[in-house]
Amino acid sequence: MKGICILGATGSIGVSTLDVVARHPSLYKVIALTANTNIEVLYEQCQDHHPEVVVIVDEHKAKIFAEKIQNTPMSDIKVLSGAKALEQVATLDAVDSVMAAIVGAAGLLPSLAAAKAGKIILLANKEALVMSGAIFMQAVSDSGAQLLPIDSEHNAIFQCMPAGYKTGMQAKQVRRILLTASGGPFRETPVDQLIHVTPDQAVAHPNWDMGRKISVDSATMMNKGLEMIEACILFDMTPDQIQVVIHPQSVIHSMVDYVDGTVLAQMGNPDMRVPIAYSMAWPDRFDSGVAPLDIFEVGRMDFQEPDLERFPCLRLAYDAIAAGGIMPTILNAANEIAVEAFLNETVRFTDIPVIIERCMQQFEATVADTLDIILAADRQARLVSRQIIAEL
Ligand code: NAD
Ligand code: MG
């Protein structure tokens, strides 16, 4: 029986994780659930899973929640608030596995705390890794933590790696990685129409049902840019070893190309419960609740090279990793601010790469060898991006 803490329980990945947990009550016990503000969903999750402790980052909402569970069978659930409490629950002794599913930079400190505490980390929060790369991987190796990727592509790659492979290792037999991308909702929209894209259109992903931020990232393909950086860090590869492949059917979740000419692909229906269940059962396997792949219904699979003119965010991600140092942190922070502004209808869809590029131009790619440097770069890039938006 393993104890699990789900950081970001009320989000898309959190909900899918609890769906898998519910299928295996003899293998997993929910110790901690966390939310930013969504106490309605958290309340239902507590009814179903009865954790020992919850964190609601928002203090006011935490108070309301604590009152709401009084005089119910849930009154023994401990309610904490504030960002620091996320780190506290991710490192509890009763917690063996931590699902890191907070969106954005807010997930960095609790995910890193889990890494330092030697937990099994199921990492969905790619932004944390993009920001802290080497520091994160060092923390994992120092503590003996186990880092399993949840991002479907990285989970696919991990599954296609040689036997005994651990994240962070260099696999010499591997020539390159083929990182698949759906191309999002605007794969074929005329480029001159992209200026008119609305938030609702951008979050309507053709194949995956995800949170709003990652859905916009998929539409700009910044998601693939972040994933390219994530793959370099997780699998100790260089950017030129990662080929992004547009595969609109989203059936192959990525491929590993070996030196002997073998290419291994992992396939399945596009449902995040597959990589979640794989990582929860690892090194074994168990039921995820996902229907078997109907290969005849899939019928055909297409592959295209991405167009960097249509998707400038992908180019910016290659620029950021080539520059190194704090630049991936700057890229990520500027993207978070730009996407938020787009979702609030303050800027246009096509302003997103403009804001990020202008922000990156304001920084030197100085060394990012401490957490303080990374957090300071993140803060400054947010200020600069807001300034750029104000001046647009
Ligand atoms: P989401 O927006 O649906 O959920 C985000 C979760 O994070 C919520 O529980 C929310 O309460 C919490 N949260 C938000 N801001 C917070 C803050 N400041 N402090 C603490 N908690 C906060 O997002 P999602 O789609 O579930 O994505 C979560 C992560 O997983 C992201 O990093 C995303 O890139 C990654 N991911 C998601 C998918 C997917 O299919 N949804 C696939 C691959 C990777
Ligand atoms: Mg992905």
Which-ligand-closest: CA of 123? 1
Which-ligand-closest: CA of 55? 1
- Testing ligand 1's pocket by substitution, the residue of 7, 12, 213, 223 carrying the most ligand atoms inside 8 A of its CB is 12
As a whole-number percent, the residues of the chain with pLDDT over 70 amount to 100
Nearest CA to ligand 1 atom 30: 124
pLDDT for 342: 98
pLDDT for 205: 84
As a whole-number percent, the residues of the chain with pLDDT over 90 amount to 98
For the chain, the structural domain boundaries read 2-149
Q: In angstroms, rounded to a whole number, what is the distance separating the alpha carbons of residues 9 and 32? A: 9
pLDDT at residue 207 tops 90: no
Residues 6+ positions from 224 with CB-CB distance below 8 Å: 179, 181, 218, 244, 306, 311, 314, 317
* Atom number of ligand 1 nearest to Cα 104: 32
* Residue labelled with tokens 């003899």: 26
* Residue labelled with tokens 């937990």: 119
* Atom number of ligand 1 nearest to Cα 110: 20
Q: Look up residue 337 and give its amino acid.
A: I
* Atom number of ligand 1 nearest to Cα 152: 43
Q: In angstroms, rounded to a whole number, what is the distance separating the alpha carbons of residues 113 and 102? A: 14
> How many angstroms does the Cα of residue 127 sit away from the middle of ligand 1?
10
13-44 per-position pLDDT tens digit: 999 999 999 999 999 999 999 999 999 999 99
27, two tokens: 């293998």
- Pairing verdict, β 252-258 and 263-267: antiparallel
- Name the H helices within 221-306: 222-234, 273-281, 295-298
Confidence class of residue 51 from pLDDT cuts 50, 70 and 90? very high
pLDDT at residue 364 tops 90: yes
Q: Determine the average pLDDT of the residues in 276-296.
A: 98
Nearest CA to ligand 1 atom 32: 125
Q: In 3-state terms, what secondary structure has residue 166?
A: coil
pLDDT for 206: 83
Nearest CA to ligand 1 atom 20: 36
Q: In angstroms, rounded to a whole number, what is the distance separating the alpha carbons of residues 203 and 205? A: 6
If one counts every other C-beta atom within 10 angstroms of the C-beta of residue 269, the result is: 17
Residues 6+ positions from 198 with CB-CB distance below 8 Å: none
- Testing ligand 1's pocket by substitution, the residue of 5, 13, 108, 111 carrying the most ligand atoms inside 8 A of its CB is 13
- CATH number, domain 2-149: 3.40.50.720
| Rounded (to 5) percent helix, strand, coil in the chain | 50, 15, 35
Confidence class of residue 209 from pLDDT cuts 50, 70 and 90? confident
pLDDT for 208: 82
> How many angstroms does the Cα of residue 34 sit away from the middle of ligand 1?
11
Left if phi > 0, otherwise alpha if psi is -120 to 50, otherwise beta: which for 148?
Answer: beta
pLDDT at residue 62 tops 90: yes
Q: In angstroms, rounded to a whole number, what is the distance separating the alpha carbons of residues 77 and 261? A: 54
Which-ligand-closest: CA of 125? 1
Ligand 1, CB within 6 Å, residue ranges: 8-14, 35-36, 38, 57, 101-103, 106, 124-127, 151, 208, 210-211, 213-214, 272
Nearest CA to ligand 1 atom 2: 211
